[in-house]
Amino acid sequence: NAGVTQTPKFRVLKTGQSMTLLCAQDMNHEYMYWYRQDPGMGLRLIHYSVGEGTTAKGEVPDGYNVSRLKKQNFLLGLESAAPSQTSVYFCASSSFRRTIYNEQFFGPGTRLTVL
C-alpha cells in the first residue's frame, strides 16, 4: 500500500515551459487535492476534485489546470511556467463519509523551480 505518490520529486523549468505533475493514490479515495507551499508559509489549496471527472478551484488556481480522468490519479498542469510558481507542491487524498471526519493523506511533495 503505497498511499499517495507524486511524480516527479524535483523539477527545474525555464520560464514559459510547460509540465504536468502526477499524483496517484491507491486508497480508493474520492477526494483529491493539490496544494502549494512557499517558504515559511502554510499550504494553499490550488484545485481539488470530489470524484472522477470533476474538478474545482481552490484558493490560488490561476496559472494551473487539473484533470481527474481516473479515480486514482490527479494531474496538475502548468501551461506556461512563471518564476512565481516556484514552490513545493503537495498532493493529498481523502475518503468522503458525511458524518465522519475524513483525514487527508499527503504525498511527499514535488519541488519545482522556475528560472
Partner 1 sequence: DAKTTQPPSMDCAEGRAANLPCNHSTISGNEYVYWYRQIHSQGPQYIIHGLKNNETNEMASLIITEDRKSSTLILPHATLRDTAVYYCIRGETSGSRLTFGEGTQLTVNP
Residues that bind partner 1 (CB under 8 A): 4, 31, 33, 35, 40-45, 48, 50, 58-59, 88, 90, 92, 94, 96-99, 101-109
CB 65 within 8 A of CB 84: no
Tell me whether residue 24 or residue 43 sits nearer to partner 1 (CB atom): 43
Nearer to partner 1, 14 or 98 (CB): 98
Q: Radius of gyration of the chain from Cα atoms?
A: 14
| Contact indicator for 45, 58 with CB cutoff of 8 Å | yes
Give least dist CB 93 to partner 1, A. Answer: 11
CA distance 102 to 95: 6
Please, which residue, 34 or 78, has the CB nearer to partner 1?
34
CB of 67 to partner 1, least distance (A): 19
Strands 4-7 and 87-94: what pairing?
A: unpaired
d(CA 11, CA 54): 27
With respect to partner 1, which residue has the nearer C-beta, 32 or 78?
A: 32
